Structure 1
């Protein structure tokens, strides 16, 4: 039964994120695997308060930053998906991998 490898990439650096995801998509397609995406989620704007001490009221200015998310899916081609997940990515890019087994239509559990 085929597997679907779902990759989620997040970073505050949109340029680096788009370059990495674009390169991966080209690599996967060059190997002959089916690749869906990249799908972009809405950027998340985060505002993190920073406190000078543990007592309330004494704060530094809040830390604002944006997180960008891209998602790819690799269908079948387990060897290609494995090679992609074993790559080294920059520290500024967070990668999550989810593997899902697809069962054919009409498949029953025994």
Structure 2
């Protein structure tokens, strides 16, 4: 049985996101693990209303920002995946990790 480690990254700083994900991919491949991605998600645009007081009324101009996303998968190589997940990432990047267990083709249900 093999494991697939799925990493999802989100950041408002596109340059730092790209650099971090590409560095991670190069490191995984250099260590001999299979890496798929990075896959880009459509950027999400957000708009936040800012009020001058706690009560409704006067507002500042809304704060607008874009969130960029990337996904990366590490197949097998659990030790490499664990090492990559334990890395320090920049504070501007939000990282989520999901681990899936894959059964070989033709393997029956338990």
TM-score normalised by length of structure 1? 0.95
- The one-character-per-residue Cα deviations of 1:7-56 (angstroms, maximum 9, x if unpaired) are 00111111110000000000000011000000001111111111222322
Secondary structure, aligned partner of 1:43 = strand
The answer for unaligned runs of 5 or more in structure 2 is none
Task: List aligned pairs for 1:36-51, cutoff 5 A.
Answer: 36-51=36-51
2: distance between equivalents of 1:59 and 1:52? Answer: 5
1: distance between equivalents of 2:71 and 2:37? Answer: 6
CA drift at 1:78? 0.3
- Name segments (4+ residues, structure 1) moved above 4 Å: none
The answer for unaligned runs of 5 or more in structure 1 is none
Secondary structure, aligned partner of 1:42 = strand
RMSD: 1.0
Residues 1:90 and 2:63 aligned together: no
CA drift at 1:108? 2.6
Aligned pair count reads 110
